[in-house]
Structure 1
Amino acid sequence: MGPTRKRDLTIAVVVLTLLGYVVTSRTFGSFPPITVLTGVSLLVLAAAVAGWAFYVRGKIGDGKIGVGPGRLHPLAVARGVMIAKASAWVGALALGWWLGVSALFLPKRSVLRVAAEGSTGAVVAAVSALALVVAALWLEHCCKSPDEPSEDADGVPG
């Protein structure tokens, strides 16, 4: 399993932005209210993922990966990579959707009351989704195993 490609996440964001804009523009009247709390769950998830990233980074930096008390099991790190990949994709898809909604709401906020009320919530949700993507990519980076020791020209570990 290779690292998550930022190019693929970017394509997903662009596609979902267009889809979010089109779907929102066609179903604008039937949307439920979008409040500031709409995207907070994404922000809470981003904080949890970032916290796990710092924990894993500390354990790897201290060489405390393995089986035993005070050590982080290698399978927990592998699960962290899976969580990072899934979170990056969820964040990218949510970011695209909320960017599309924001692109529709922001220009119309002075004309339509619903757009004015929903634009702040849509922007908060988009920022929260971006935070999730960043935290997920950070967790994936933190789950990498440390570099192998370098060798001198004579083949002796340095």
Structure 2
Amino acid sequence: MHFTRPRELLVAGVLGLVVGYLLFQTAYGSLPRMPLAAGAALFVLALVEVVLAFSIRARIKAGRVMGAIAIARSVALAKASSLLGALMLGGWLGAIAYLLPKRSHLAAAASDTTSALLGALGGLLLGAAALWLEHCCRTPDRGDSDRPGGVTG
């Protein structure tokens, strides 16, 4: 398994943007109003991943041994979450691109834009938290001066 590449995130984001825009273009009239917390789950996932990243980082810095399976699972979670974050960021940006021009003549579009902005922020935070978790799971260099006794985790 390789670490997340920027082009993978870009492809996921563009795919989400196109699908989000087309979905809103074809079905917006039949959708109920979006709740303000439409993207709240993304914030929760981002918080969990940040806590996990700092926990793993602290264990590695302290020289405590971690199981390879636990690290592999964390990397897999981080990779999947970074792709989900990029996809959701693109999807919410597609919704925003559809809603912004409609704000002046549709009352629902004004409130839905706020929900979409919060959703986009959630996608961005999830992607950033996932990339941080992935970074914290990397094997430290032998010459790292902040690791006690050259521990390689």
Structure-1-length-normalised TM-score: 0.86
For 2:38 and 2:9, how far apart are their aligned partners in 1?
22
**4+ runs deviating over 6 angstroms:** none
Query: Secondary structure of the residue that 2:86 maps to in structure 1?
Result: helix
Partner of 2:133: 139
Partner of 1:80: 74
Cα deviation 1:46-88 (Å, max 9, x = unaligned): 01011100110111111112xxxxxx33321111101101111
Query: Secondary structure of the residue that 1:38 maps to in structure 2?
Result: coil
Partner of 1:110: 104
Matches within 5 A, 1:6-155: 6-65=6-65, 72-149=66-143
Partner of 1:68: none
CA contact (8 A) 2:8 2:83 kept: no
Structure-2-length-normalised TM-score: 0.89
Query: Secondary structure of the residue that 1:46 maps to in structure 2?
Result: helix
User: For the pair shown, which has the larger CA radius of gyration, 1 or 2?
Assistant: 1
Structure 1, unaligned runs of 5 or more = 66-71, 151-156
Could you say what the CA RMSD is over the residues aligned between the two structures, in angstroms?
1.5
Cα deviation 1:78-113 (Å, max 9, x = unaligned): 111011011111111111111100111122112101
The code of the aligned residue for 1:121 comes to S
CA contact (8 A) 2:75 2:134 kept: yes
For 1:22 and 1:145, how far apart are their aligned partners in 2?
42
